[in-house]
């Protein structure tokens, strides 16, 4: 079946970096984009950015520009999200989500989420 499986929980110190993986299966990886969405504890959803699995083009949320990098490895159908210079307010569950080709705003398959805790 179509699914996205993310890497496990991470605990990082302020200033460090984290890289979360998202392995796709059950569909043609390069036919869809992957978006990343995060959710701080008890809070709403926040869009972080999108990457085309076809050609690697990216769009990032302005507030994360310069700290976030999204990449894909088509040989393993895996997407990655790296966030640098971590702060306490980066503590959140990070989700990857398959994005419909014609609608950057439609996320039809979601990963299970990866908890990232930033604490000294």
Partner 1 sequence: QSALTQPASVSGSPGQSITISCTGTSSDVGGYNYVSWYQQHPGKAPKLMIYEVSNRPSGVSNRFSGSKSGNTASLTISGLQAEDEADYYCSSYTSSSTHVVFGGGTKLTVL
Query: Do 64 and 48 form a contact (C-beta atoms < 8 A)?
Result: yes
**Minimum distance of partner 1 from residue 16's CB (angstroms):** 25
Tell whether the torsion through CA atoms of 103, 106, 31 and 64 is positive or negative: positive
- Does 107 interact with partner 1 (rule: CB under 8 A)? yes
* Binding string, residues 77-96; x marks residues near partner 1 by CB under 8 A: ------------------x-
Cα gap 30→18, rounded to integer Å:
25
Binding to partner 1 (CB under 8 A): which residues in 12-71?
35, 37, 44-47, 49-50, 59, 61-63
Written as six digits, the tokens of 114 are 């990866």
Written as six digits, the tokens of 88 are 């306490």
Q: Please give the residue ranges that form the binding site for partner 1 (CB under 8 A).
A: 35, 37, 44-47, 49-50, 59, 61-63, 95, 97, 100, 103-108, 110-113
């Amino acid at each position: 079946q179509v699914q996205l499986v993310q890497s496990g929980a991470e605990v990082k110190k302020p200033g460090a970096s984290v890289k979360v993986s998202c392995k796709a299966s059950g569909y043609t990886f390069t036919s869809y984009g992957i978006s990343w969405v995060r959710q701080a504890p008890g809070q709403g959803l926040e869009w972080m950015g999108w990457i085309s699995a076809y050609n690697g083009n990216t769009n990032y949320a302005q507030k994360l520009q310069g700290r976030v990098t999204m990449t894909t490895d088509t040989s393993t159908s895996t997407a990655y999200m790296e966030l640098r210079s971590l702060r306490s307010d980066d503590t959140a569950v990070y989700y990857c989500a398959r994005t419909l080709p014609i609608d950057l705003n439609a996320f039809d398959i979601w990963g299970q989420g990866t908890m990232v805790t930033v604490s000294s």
